[in-house]
Structure 1
Amino acid sequence: MPSIHLKTLKCIEQEDWTFHDDVLLKVNGETVLFTSMDEGEKNSIDQYISFGEKAVVKLYEADYGGDDNDFLGAHTVRRGSGVLHFTRDDANYQLTYAVS
């Protein structure tokens, strides 16, 4: 069974311009990271997640007080390695990964 190695998440540009971003990273619907990040910050994740045919990686900025979370993007990964870019809603995040 393949696994995706989530290496690092870097915040190039925050979605929330008034405060830090509360970042929520999901793989195949399961939350694998929930952390606060500021512009320029890099977070070492270093997690391996097993998957079947594909891994669907989604990134959100969590909102509170009744708002829905801000969807920053999604990618489907089957093999390879590289950098996934999440740039929706005026944000810019880079996730480095490798599939083994």
Structure 2
Amino acid sequence: MPKIKLTRLKAINNEDNVGCDHPYLKLDGDVVWGPERVCEEFDIEITDVNRSFSGSVTVELWEEDDVDGDDLLGRHSLKSGSGSVEFTRDGAHYTLGYAIK
């Protein structure tokens, strides 16, 4: 059974126009990281997110928002390999590194 490891999250542009974002990551609908306070040019190593899956795994990046509901910044379905994916909805730009073994 393959296992995904999330490795690094980088914020290039925040979704919020003023201040910092509070993003969180989901794998197959379950929150696995965050929310954390993140400003532009933020780059953090993610060390404790490993999960087994069968077939494919869905990775989502959300931005916590108290005013009008949380914002989905993007979704990717992954099956194998390693690299990074981009999340660019609502004016945001994040990259997430991953490895599947």
Range of TM-score over shorter length = over 0.9
Q: Which residue of 2 is the match for residue 38 of structure 1?
A: 39
* Cα distance, 1:19 vs structure 2: 1.5
Which residues of structure 1 form unaligned runs of 5+? none
Higher strand share: 1
Letter in 1 for 2:76: H
Q: How does 1:47-62 map to 2 (within 5 A)?
A: 47-62=49-64
Deviations 1:49-68 (A, max 9, x none): 11111110000111014x22
Q: Which runs of 4+ in 1 moved over 6 A?
A: none
- Superposed CA RMSD in Å reads 0.8
Aligned residues between the structures: 99
* Cα distance, 1:48 vs structure 2: 1.1
| Structure 1 length-normalised TM | 0.95
Inter-partner Cα distance in structure 1 for 2:56 and 2:86: 18
Which residues of structure 2 form unaligned runs of 5+? none
Q: Which residue of 2 is the match for residue 23 of structure 1?
A: 23
Q: Percent same amino acid at aligned positions?
A: 39
Inter-partner Cα distance in structure 2 for 1:19 and 1:49: 32
Inter-partner Cα distance in structure 1 for 2:51 and 2:21: 24
Q: Which residue of 2 is the match for residue 84 of structure 1?
A: 85
| Structure 2 length-normalised TM | 0.94
Deviations 1:6-59 (A, max 9, x none): 000000000012111000100001101111110001111122111111110000
